[in-house]
Structure 1
Amino acid sequence: MKYMSRFLKRDKTDLLIVVGMVFVWRVCLSVFLFVALRLLPLQQNFLGGGMSNYLSNPSIWAWVNFDGEHYLAIAREGYKPLTYFFFPLYPVIIGFLARLLDLNFLGYAILGLLVSHMTFLLAVVGFWKLIRLSNSRNKSFLAVLLLLFFPTSFYFAAYYTEALFLAIVVWSFYFARVQKWWLASLLATLGTATRLVGIVLLPSLIILYFLDMKNILRTWKWFILLLIPAGLLIYMFFLYRSTGDPFEFLNSVGIFGEQRSSSFILLPQVFYRYFFKVLPNLNNYWPVVFTTLLELFVAILYFVLCFYGWRKLKKGELMFLVGGYLIPTLSGSFSSLPRYVLVLFPGYLLMADLIYKLPRLVRVIVFIILFFCLGIATSLYVRGYWLS
């Protein structure tokens, strides 16, 4: 408690500014929803609460579309066939609290969205504290703005794991940087029960321990990092007991479309597919064009950032960035990559470093473009169009 008290007193004004930025971001998302309800036709196939619920209360149910529907079902009813791809921590938290409070269907939806919003606020505060350890105030604010303005950042407000996982990741790295290895390891363990990419936290924190923090091998603390895979292993044991296959979460990837493969596809082949097969066959349906171009842009951007980060990041952070970027592409597609990279916090710091060097007018133009893309992406999602 004393540690947290000291933590909250430091940079109090800056933390209030960061919280205010999150509030403004959320207001913007509400404006995008308001506009989308009046301008975009509704796509009915993947509405989280069904058509009647959506029409009666879109301010809630518009944020439960697509994967949110699956997380809601798991929270209420537990795992069923074809849902094992979705890792357990987020729906387990919602399900436990909802049963404790004896909530109805709408209550499950509201509770899940509250969990997402609260954990995202924790994530942004943690991100701020983490990057301020080694970056200037102005560059840190720029990195937070890039996080909030990223075209798919609306997923942090949706019934998805992104907010929870980002909070786990940034606080795990923060506690590692301040040598609180028990807390870092505990959070990373929760991370492996939240997303598959959470397993990258194991090598990332080990590298951070030995190379970046200059710890020595004979100290016992590094052994606690070996507990990190426990979250994933517990889920795999559950899958083995339930389905007979501890890797069912990998084997079910193919159900999400022909563009994804349950066997590993290397990154050069994925780029080849997009440049020589996907792009030449695009039609004039603008939501598909926007989504495809966004996928390819993000893939190229983070490919470049992985190389740029070699000299700019701590090696543990670089490991998390590279691993978190490569793992989703192994399915053979950049589909959902604009969402998957949301949690790769080193990317925002690298983008801030690049943009910080640009003239003020160019920076303003960059953020106008990002804001415009965020508005389009949010509008598509809340009206039931596939985005990421």
Structure 2
Amino acid sequence: MAFSRFIKTQRAEIWTFIKYALTGVFNTLITYIVFSGLVYIHVLPSYALAIGYLLGMISSYVVNSRWTFQPSIRHISYFKRFLVINLLVLVLSEITLHLILHRLHIAYIAQLINIIPMTVIGYLSNRYLVFTTESLSDIDLSTKLTQTKDLQRRSAKELFLFAVAIALAQRLWLTFYALLELLLHRQKITIYNLFLGYYKHWDSGWYLEIAKSGFTTLKQTAFWPLYPFFIRILHDVTGFSYTLSGVFISFLAFIFFLYYIGRIADTEFGTKTARASILLFAFFPTSYYFDAVYTESLFMVFCVFAVEQAMANRFWSAGILAGLATLTRNTGVFLDLILFFEYLRYRKMNLRFWTSTWWKRLNHQVFALTLPVLFLLFYMVYLKAHTGHLLAFLTAEKYWDRHYMPLWETYSFTWVKMLHSTGWYHEYDLVELTTVTLAIWMVILGMRYIRRSYRQFSWWLFTITVLWIAATEPSLNVHDYLVSFPRYILMLFPGFVYLAVTVVRLRATPLIILIFALGLGMLGNLFFHGIWIA
């Protein structure tokens, strides 16, 4: 009897699920037929998958919005969410197809295998992130709500345009400074170097090599896979050179990173702090890494987008984005600190996990918090199968003679090293010490906000955790105790927001940006000429 009552009360939901499943089969069939037909006429599998998926996506939206769910409700927010979510699924599908084709070189069978996980992921994404019951009941409930959304939309648009303008201004500033340097020293000026060649030094070579050939040596596993995979996909789809693909991905991600850091700063501290945060990041003396063939832009956009989604209580998308950040750089797994406390805030929970009440307040979204760790575990399983080392990325660090050393030792040893060094080494040690001192100051600034909310406590905890990891792995073969820290400081996005709050309060934003911009020009030119900067 109890089961019968359950069936009766859940009949509508069960029927919705059946219709959704039938729609998924229909759209998957369309995708596969188009894919197979295009491959038959010798279209590249990547192009064929993209075209087939887009046609299937259009069919999916039409059928789901008109048949599976309430046909009387139409709203542009559905289509926007649907488009974003399904484009992300398309990118993931392209990646998995490349991985399968790497092992199985028959495109028809590879896509048939690829359909299985993509169908499940597509269903869950659309069911819980697009066509949600909550969103259906909340659409256009009142004029006040509509007006509020219009204001938020207009504010978001203005912030995005500001982020685009600042990203372009930063790139123009770097180009101007490089041109000025070349003219003063009467060196040859080439368009290629100004816009591409100068942005692929040092670690860029590793990422480009992995993009071209995949992981072929254990040493390469010190560099994480998602960025070179994106470079390879863009190269295959567009025909861009690997360098152009890397620079394009970095700059596009840089724009969206500035936008989302502005969004989370605006939500927490207001518009002035949001704009100051964007400016501080864009003109920080080592921000040229956001433009270069490095992971900085892609990693940071995943980080701040994940935080923004968690702040909006969208934990599944936040978990996926944090997982992608982890595959871009391993420190992304620590985003779970922020996601966990955002979840506690959303569920109105405390830290008394030993009580039964605490556990009863958990819902299905708590499983989203496991995604960054799961992404990391899956990658480790891949490394075990590919290299024989479950922790290959740690084993690879021996090639740079990296070892753990507490922060107070790396900091004090760098001071001693600087005092006894001369020339460029002296100046480089000064750059390292300045950036780590600024990072410590960011942590101190954040201490005034940690009692404000769970959110601010998690931001501060993330900052101090990543700071400690980034500053405690010296490369002892060259006795560089704070190796790469002038670049690693860019990961401390909460710290930059705390700094922005402070400079806005002191009305010192123009002065700080000017100092940063001058430092950016000088360090950027050193990097452009192949001199080691982080």
TM bucket (normalised to shorter chain) is: 0.7 to 0.9
Report how far residue 61 of structure 1 moved. 1.4
Question: For 1:289 and 1:39, how far apart are their aligned partners in 2?
Answer: 25
Are residues 211 and 308 of structure 1, via their aligned partners in 2, closer, same or farther at CA, if it must alter by over 3 Å? farther
Q: Compute the RMSD of aligned alpha carbons.
A: 2.4
1:368 is matched with which residue? 514
1:129 is matched with which residue? 263
Are residues 311 and 56 of structure 1, via their aligned partners in 2, closer, same or farther at CA, if it must alter by over 3 Å? closer
Of 484, 504, 515, which aligns to 1:336?
Answer: 484
Q: Is the partner of 1:193 in helix, strand or coil?
A: helix
Question: For 1:197 and 1:96, how far apart are their aligned partners in 2?
Answer: 24
Q: Deviations over 1:218-249 (max 9, x none)?
A: 22211221121122222212221222212221
1:91 is matched with which residue? 228
Of 169, 172, 192, which aligns to 1:57?
Answer: 192
Work out whether 1:22 is the aligned partner of 2:167. Answer: yes
Q: Which moved more, 1:301-310 or 1:22-31?
A: 301-310
Task: Letter of the 1:340 partner, please give it.
Answer: Y
Q: Deviations over 1:7-31 (max 9, x none)?
A: 7544423432232122111111111
Of 194, 209, 219, which aligns to 2:362?
Answer: 219
CA contact (8 A) 2:261 2:277 kept: no
Q: Which moved more, 1:309-318 or 1:24-33?
A: 309-318
Task: Letter of the 2:179 partner, please give it.
Answer: F
Question: For 1:181 and 1:327, how far apart are their aligned partners in 2?
Answer: 26
Task: Letter of the 2:207 partner, please give it.
Answer: Y
Aligned runs of 1:1-388 on 2, under 5 Å? 2=77, 4=80, 8-39=153-184, 57-59=192-194, 60-81=196-217, 82-103=219-240, 107-210=241-344, 214-215=348-349, 217=359, 218-220=361-363, 221-256=365-400, 261=402, 263-276=403-416, 278-285=417-424, 288-312=425-449, 314-332=456-474, 333-358=481-506, 360=507, 362-388=508-534
Alignment: residue pair count? 366
Task: Letter of the 2:367 partner, please give it.
Answer: F
CA contact (8 A) 2:163 2:255 kept: no
Report how far residue 133 of structure 1 moved. 0.8
Report how far residue 213 of structure 1 moved. 6.7
Q: Which moved more, 1:134-143 or 1:161-170?
A: 134-143
Structure 2: segments with no counterpart, 5+ residues: 1-75, 82-148, 350-357, 451-455, 475-480
CA contact (8 A) 1:152 1:339 kept: yes
Task: Letter of the 1:348 partner, please give it.
Answer: F
CA contact (8 A) 2:261 2:274 kept: no
Are residues 354 and 213 of structure 1, via their aligned partners in 2, closer, same or farther at CA, if it must alter by over 3 Å? farther
CA contact (8 A) 1:208 1:315 kept: no
Report how far residue 384 of structure 1 moved. 0.4
Report how far residue 334 of structure 1 moved. 1.3
Tell me the percent identity: 26
Name the larger-Rg structure.
2
Task: Letter of the 1:267 partner, please give it.
Answer: L
Are residues 213 and 134 of structure 1, via their aligned partners in 2, closer, same or farther at CA, if it must alter by over 3 Å? farther
Which structure is higher in RCO with an 8 Å CA cutoff and minimum separation 6? Answer: 1
Question: For 1:92 and 1:203, how far apart are their aligned partners in 2?
Answer: 27
Report how far residue 271 of structure 1 moved. 1.4
Q: Is the partner of 1:74 in helix, strand or coil?
A: helix
Task: Letter of the 2:412 partner, please give it.
Answer: Y
Question: For 1:145 and 1:328, how far apart are their aligned partners in 2?
Answer: 23
Normalising to structure 1: TM-score of the pair?
Answer: 0.87
Structure 1: segments with no counterpart, 5+ residues: 43-53
